[in-house]
Amino acid sequence: MKNSHNSPLLKVENLRIELTTRDGVAPVIDDLSLELRAGETLSFVGESGCGKSMTALALMGLLPEKVGRVAKGSICFNGEDLTTASPARLNEIRGNDISMIFQEPMTSLNPVYTIGEQIAEVLRRHRGMNKAAAWQRAIELLDAVRIPNPKNRVSDYPHQLSGGQRQRVMIAIALACEPKILIADEPTTALDVTVQAQIFDLMRDLGRELGTATILITHDMGAVAEMAERMIVMYAGRMAETGPVQQVIDHPRHPYTKGLISCVPHLLAQLTAERPPLAEIDGIVPSLKDFGRDECLFASRCERANEQCRNQRPPEVGFSAGQLSACWQAEDV
């Protein structure tokens, strides 16, 4: 085992993912490096189209076939490079050591199989359990994700469950083999606010119980603050800023992070008080074909942007406690 106490569970270095589109090849992830330690929660934040989901799919080895590919860099899990692993080896890891929860609980379960079968299947695949044992374990897992009356619900079909319940089943599938890493891609976006809190609670509790490291992909700053220890702010396929969550939220060193934080609406002490207008970051994410340019991609939306920002890609500037910011003016932000 190469994995000692100090080396990270997952180490991504200079990852570049390219998508082949009609306009040519575009880097949806450009030079991304990160580390994840056992039991830790890391959060990816950013607008839609920033490459958050692509990062998740790349970690799972599930990039869209013939369209997306890892062009550069490495993804090391326990010292094993996943970018060069065989498909059979990836199948052993997926669902067992690294598993994933998706954004759309309504459509992520197969409509023609019972939820029990869909949970039991992954146990039979990776744990070599027989039919009866896997089914029994599926009932226990349904109980663990707090689905009432699991003995009866286990033979239900997905269409008989609510969205929140389906996401619980997805969590049960993902955690069935007690994975080392759980990737949650916007797990609560499609759910009611009250259910969102329950799902986050469940993920946190079970994650702690099993010692699972979590990568939480979200655009909800509230969820980040509550769930994660460290965060990575993504913009247009590049890392804008990273660091411990509290530090980044208290002292953002990138104008984009600052903008995202100011966008979080605040509850008013009194409903009668005058409501300030909602903050927003003007402009939109540049289109895919512009992702590879040698400039700060946020410059077009940044009020601090100058000539340098528009002509040269900014380097990562380090601060205390591992905080990094890819901004020419990081010191002044």
Partner 1 sequence: MTFLRATFFRSLYAILLLIAVLVLNFSMMHMAPGDVADTIAQSMGGADPEIMAQIRADYGLDQPFLIQLATYVGKVLNFDLGFSFFYNQPVVSLILERLPATLLLVLGAQLLALTLGVVLGVISARNPNGMTSHLVTGLALFGYAAPVFWTGILCLIAFSLHLGWFPTSGMRDVTVAGGGWAKLLDIAHHAVLPIITLCSVYLALYSRLCRTAMLEVLGSDYVRTAKAKGLSARQVVYKHALKNAVSPVITLAGLQFSAVISGAVLVEAVYSWPGLGTLAFQSIIARDTPTILGILFFSALVVIVGNLLTDIALRLVDPRVGGKQ
Chain contacts with partner 1 (rule: CB under 8 A): 60, 62, 87, 90-96, 99-100, 102, 104, 107-113, 121-122, 125-126, 157, 159-160, 170, 173
| Helix, strand, or coil (residue 48) | coil
Show the tokens assigned to 323. Answer: 């905080």
Is the CB of 176 or the CB of 330 nearer to partner 1?
176
Strands annotated E in the chain: 10-21, 24-36, 41-45, 68-77, 80-81, 98-101, 181-185, 213-218, 230-235, 238-244, 317-318, 324-325
Write down how long the chain is: 333
Quote the CA–CA distance of 154 and 173 in Å, as a whole number: 12
Minimal distance in Å, beta carbon 109 to partner 1?
A: 6
Opening angle at CA 111, ends 107 and 115, nearest 5: 100
User: Measured from the CB of residue 201, what is the shortest distance to partner 1 in angstroms?
Assistant: 23
Structure tokens at 119: 């949970």
CB of residue 86 to partner 1, shortest distance in Å: 13
Shortest Å, Cβ 176 to partner 1 = 9
Q: Which is nearer to partner 1, 7 or 91 (CB)?
A: 91
Question: Measured from the CB of residue 75, what is the shortest distance to partner 1 in angstroms?
Answer: 16
Task: Report d(CA 124, CA 135) in Å as an integer.
Answer: 9
